[in-house]
Structure 1
Amino acid sequence: MSLPPASDYDVVVVGSGPTGCTYVREVFEQHPTARILLVEAGPRITDPPGGHVKNIADDALRARAQRASEGPSPASPGRPGTRLLGTPEMPAAAVSTNVGGMGAHWTAACPRPGDGERIPFVPADEMDRHLTRAEQLLRVSAHAFDTAPFADEVRRRLAGHFDTGRPASRRVAPMPLAVTIRPDGTGVWSGTDVVLGPAAHDPRVDIVDRCLCLRVLHDGGTVTGVAVRDLEEGGEGRETTVTARAVVVAADALRTPQVLHASGIRPAALGRHLNDQPQIVHAVRLPDDLVTAHRAVTDRTRQDDGGIIPQSGVSWVPFTDDRPFHGQVMQLDASPVPLDGDALVEPGSIVGLGWFCAKDVTADDRVTFSDTEEDAFGMPAPVIHYRYTDRDLATIEAAKKAVAEAGATLGIPLGEAPILLPAGSSLHYQGTTRMGPADDGISVCDTHSRVWDTVGLWVAGNNVIPTATACNPTLTSVALASRGAGALVDHLTS
């Protein structure tokens, strides 16, 4: 389906990633008669819609789904399932375009924010309640890999180095993951199919793929609907309008401000405060004595259906204000891999270390849009302006040191020193439609994600997060979407 089957809805949600689907699910459950339209510019790549590609067992089918997510040709592919934007100041900036958005490709890491990552003007008890709801929607568990044979020893070594002086909530721990473990011990990764739940199959909800939102329509400061274009092959670019009482734009941190710009909704902060997390990576081989002592009682590394059998799990070194970066240590190999000639490495004994840094957020880091040039979808072409401040460079150096120390604690480093990846590599872009407590020119929406001065318009996604974070942002943005959805239901029933 490439154009909406109806012309009038209570709510139109633009973008089918985790936060857009959160709005669909929450409105569906809280408003028993609401008609909801979910529009997505990309194709359906899984059945049910919004599933995670890691759950596709066949390698060729998984690769096909990833390629279909990369957008229109000629595509410049980034990591599988994403398309590079090719911007000089953020060379690794990339997006996915498919039903499920990045929720079909993400690592499923869902740590809670702490210390300075928390939003100061959202009451802590309210935020904690919505974080708990987000964990329910995403099916988050900190115990997914409890049986991984190397995991406890990996965390014991990390804790011995990092935990001194930390409060209990900020100590080394298993990474909370959006994954459901089967009885055989393998995992099913959560995509937005999990978030949608029963809403995905209810007649009150229409999910339309290959349908591009061109503009949010508004009159006198009040939303009236959206204009959309058919992107399906043979659709000849047909355009239509859909009326709605409310619109949620959840098209990611680069394309949500693009839709608002194209709609003539341009608050001063639109596109500003772009926050990418500088990412440092390293890899180590766990020492032979650890591997021998904790070897799994199995020779398998994959299930017949493709599921990876966990050996070393995923561990978390939380952000603190004193150490403003967040670390995750995870199993890299899914099968024996050759190392130093013909020697085979025990599955799970190669672990990757990825440290994300909190960015020094400034208004000058931003995405702007052209009124004369177009992108591959015919929307205003984006230009990213981005740089590291002196504070960023100091944080990056401190994080490199921490990664090297973690690697030395765990085992034998592979390759050279820890590496800073190109800007944009984190895919954790935030801040471009940030929330704020007042319409003071430095925020785009209020604390319930309602766009200032436009009645009936909400924004959603990592782009709403206003703080400098280092942890994976999806759990926070889903929590904020759940909070915003409550205000949207109030709008519909008032």
Structure 2
Amino acid sequence: MITTAVPSARPYPAVVDVAIIGSGPAGATYARILSELSPQASIAIFEAGPTISDPPGSHVKNIASVQDREVAQRRSEGKVSAVPSGGNLAEYARDVARPVRPGTFLLDDGWQQPGETGLPGLAFSSNVGGMAAHWTGACPRPGGSERIAFLPNMDELLSEAERLLSVSSEALAGAPLADLVRSRLSAALDDGRAHDRRVQPMPLAVRRTDDGRFIWSGADVVFGDETRNNPRARLFDESVVVRVLTDGDEVSGVRVRDAKSGDEHEIAARYVVVAADALRGPQLLFASGIRPEALGRYLNDQPQIVHAVRLTGAMDDVPAASSSDTTITAQSGVSWVPFTDEQPFHGQVMQLDASPVPISGDVIPGSIVGLGWFCAKDLQASDRVVFSENTTDAYGLPAMNIHYTFTERDEQTLSAARQSVVAAARSLGEPLGDQPLTFPAGASLHYQGTLRMGTSNDGTAVCDPAGQVWDVRGLFVAGNGVIPTPTACNPTLTGVALAVAGARQIAESINSTSTEK
């Protein structure tokens, strides 16, 4: 059964078939697919952060107690919390220049270089389940140039990702006022769009129980019973992988530091999967002396513009909110304005139970609407994370320095997105505030590109279409960092889909070897 290691024992294995670094959705995908297709394989999953929920990797929204939820969020904040212990969670995002969300922590240094935009909003989570313990659950499919043209089976991979994440477009589709929101958005924005790119309910990684509760998907849903009941799969929390070990041009294992004792252990492995995020994944490869030309390059975030509006003409008999401490409830919906190549941004429209700014009069749940427009970044190799040869971070790994700038095309996209979100807000009712707010770069938390896949080892890609790192047999990378295209849609679904392809390749190799024996 998949459980965290006993703190006093820490029985790390001497050898495994597959070592997975990172317990977020991509790492969980490898564990799940291998458990399904190669149950004979031994698997060890290593996570630098602590277990904050039961089952491990579940979403903090599923924690009923507000106090317990806050504790879980604080335990996700790495070595240093951005807010003093005991501070009010509502105060996290008070700094507009460098906003911090509960469960995340900022990069202390190196986030901006002189004369560059930088990523002031760059943030991480450190916990079993990764950022999926805190995310909004949005899982739209990519379209147009967001799609990866050299993957002929991308739709099948996306469908499998939807299965693993338990994605539904119906869970909140029937929320009060949601139809009114979508009909007004459609009238304002749908003209000229293909049918599948019109305004529609947002696909969400959420399911509704028979008694009306919502269960938000975290990595625990991706792990599934198939992994939890697999006696050959083990999850080790507070275990920092400090180096991927190689023997010539082949992977041979990992070196792990027990964060509880400080002891280090070498574990042999036939396959190693680096499924950390788009910053800490390349960091580990760099620390391991694995440094392909594209490593850390093509870093991209999704520039984000937000606006809010009070829906006019809403009915007065809408039911009361089901909860006062959850942003999205049974009485509020999420709608989607898909990306198109002509309008290279994606809209996430969230109905709220309360207003984000003080307003007069009673608020009908669902009548305050937040609009978030995410833009596709103009990719450039110079946008990158550079790692230090002599300075380390709080985990003892090479310190990061971010190089990041907006191009003229980026500025044009941002300008068009501002016009679009204003038009959308006006179609719904009374905008709250004169102008939309442009979030600082990095605030989307949708980092990609630093481990990008490609079709050839030409210096512009770190791995092949299955996620195997060029020139290092048995080493795979996974997560949003492998996405090679400029995207505006939430990237988790795509990241999981790409992990499915890699996990299948490892399973095929393991099964082939077992058959030969």
User: Which TM class, normalised by the smaller chain length?
Assistant: over 0.9
Asked if the contact 1:280–1:421 (Cα under 8 Å) also holds between the matched residues in 2, the reply is yes
**426 and 195 in structure 1: CA distance in 2 versus 1, 3 angstrom threshold:** same
Matched, 1:259 2:284: yes
Letter in 2 for 1:418: P
1:364 to 378, 382, 386: 382
1:302 to 323, 338, 349: 323
Once the two structures are overlaid, the 10-residue window that deviates more, 354-363 or 415-424, is 415-424
Report matched runs for 1:330-479 at 5 Å.
330-333=350-353, 339-341=358-360, 343-479=361-497
Matched, 1:110 2:139: yes
SS at match of 1:216: strand
In structure 2, what is the Cα distance between the partners aligned to 1:269 and 1:402? 34
In structure 1, what is the Cα distance between the partners aligned to 2:438 and 2:236? 39
1:159 to 186, 191, 212: 186
Q: How much is the aligned-residue C-alpha RMSD, in angstroms? A: 1.6
In structure 1, what is the Cα distance between the partners aligned to 2:328 and 2:293? 47
**340 and 196 in structure 1: CA distance in 2 versus 1, 3 angstrom threshold:** closer
Letter in 1 for 2:266: T
SS at match of 2:271: strand
**491 and 4 in structure 1: CA distance in 2 versus 1, 3 angstrom threshold:** farther
- Structure 1 consecutive aligned stretches of length 4 or more whose deviation exceeds 4 Å: 74-77, 305-308, 335-339
**483 and 63 in structure 1: CA distance in 2 versus 1, 3 angstrom threshold:** same
In structure 1, what is the Cα distance between the partners aligned to 2:332 and 2:75? 32
Report matched runs for 1:56-455 at 5 Å.
56-73=63-80, 75=82, 78-86=100-108, 87-88=111-112, 89-123=118-152, 126-198=153-225, 199-232=227-260, 235=261, 237-287=262-312, 289-292=313-316, 295-296=317-318, 298-302=319-323, 309-333=329-353, 339-341=358-360, 343-455=361-473
Letter in 1 for 2:322: T
Letter in 2 for 1:285: R
Q: Percent identity between the aligned chains?
A: 56
SS at match of 2:245: strand
Shift of 1:60: 1.0
In structure 2, what is the Cα distance between the partners aligned to 1:25 and 1:37? 12
**362 and 128 in structure 1: CA distance in 2 versus 1, 3 angstrom threshold:** same
Asked if the contact 2:328–2:352 (Cα under 8 Å) also holds between the matched residues in 1, the reply is no
In structure 2, what is the Cα distance between the partners aligned to 1:244 and 1:173? 45
Shift of 1:489: 1.3
SS at match of 1:344: coil
Letter in 1 for 2:63: I
SS at match of 1:27: helix
TM-score calculated relative to the size of structure 2: 0.91
Letter in 1 for 2:320: D
Shift of 1:6: 1.4
In structure 1, what is the Cα distance between the partners aligned to 2:47 and 2:303? 29
In structure 1, what is the Cα distance between the partners aligned to 2:248 and 2:477? 19
**187 and 395 in structure 1: CA distance in 2 versus 1, 3 angstrom threshold:** same
Asked if the contact 2:35–2:230 (Cα under 8 Å) also holds between the matched residues in 1, the reply is no
**317 and 39 in structure 1: CA distance in 2 versus 1, 3 angstrom threshold:** same
Letter in 1 for 2:80: S
In structure 2, what is the Cα distance between the partners aligned to 1:43 and 1:332? 31
Shift of 1:160: 0.5
Aligned length: 482
Letter in 1 for 2:103: G
Q: Deviations over 1:131-187 (max 9, x none)?
A: 000000000000011321100110000001111111111110000000001223331
Q: Deviations over 1:8-39 (max 9, x none)?
A: 10000000000000000001110120000000
Shift of 1:307: 9.2
Matched, 1:485 2:500: no
SS at match of 2:314: helix
SS at match of 1:160: helix
In structure 2, what is the Cα distance between the partners aligned to 1:137 and 1:121? 23
In structure 2, what is the Cα distance between the partners aligned to 1:306 and 1:273? 35
